[in-house]
Amino acid sequence: MTQAPLMIQRSCRIPVPLADCFALYTRLKADEYIHSDALIAPITRIEMIQGKSFNEVGDIQRITFKGGAVIDEEVLAFVPNRQFVYKGTGFSQPLLNWLDHAKGSFEFEKDGDGTLVTWRYLFYLKPGLGIGPKRLVFKAAVVDLIWNRMMTKTLVNLTQIITLRALQAGKR
């Protein structure tokens, strides 16, 4: 029996108009804004496996973290000024190796003169023996503790970077 994915989402308001916010976001590399700390290793390398920009359906990038952990991400949907959806596979970190895959999305919505950005992440655990207890441990340790903290801090970083770049470009 397939279980529903575990989900987490966080939102932030970026004081930059929607089209400019989306354009600035799509020019960023994950290592420019993803939060790292004692629990979340910093990104050491991003390489394109397929495609050139990681902005088109089917593009695949490999992200390597300090310590050697790797995640492959594939663009599943790209709707200008609206949505960016990707799938992550090949998680090699402890606990994350319980994942079959994950789906992430960044949703962009006009919010007055700014943009509401919602980052959603769905974790699909591998089926098998012990899935119930693994699901409980994964939710408590990874989703509620680690991912919650990382997403919250990453969205603060994203807000600051996009706002600053919009100001530098005179688009705010």
* Structural domains of the chain ordered from first start: 6-168 (3.30.530.20)
Range of weakest confidence among 32-41, 46-55, 63-72, 136-145: 32-41
pLDDT at 165 (0 to 100): 94
Query: The pTM is what?
Result: 0.91
Strands 60-65 and 6-14: unpaired
Mean pLDDT of 26-51: 89
What is the per-residue pLDDT across 103-115, written as a single tens digit (0 to 9) for each? 999 999 999 999 9
Task: Say whether 92 sits in a helix, a strand or coil.
Answer: coil
Confidence of residue 172 (pLDDT cuts 50, 70, 90): low
Which segments of the chain does DSSP mark as H helices, in order?
18-27, 30-33, 131-138, 148-168
Rounded to whole angstroms, how far apart are CA atoms 28 and 32?
A: 7
What is the per-residue pLDDT across 67-112, written as a single tens digit (0 to 9) for each? 888 999 999 999 999 999 999 999 877 778 889 999 999 999 999 9
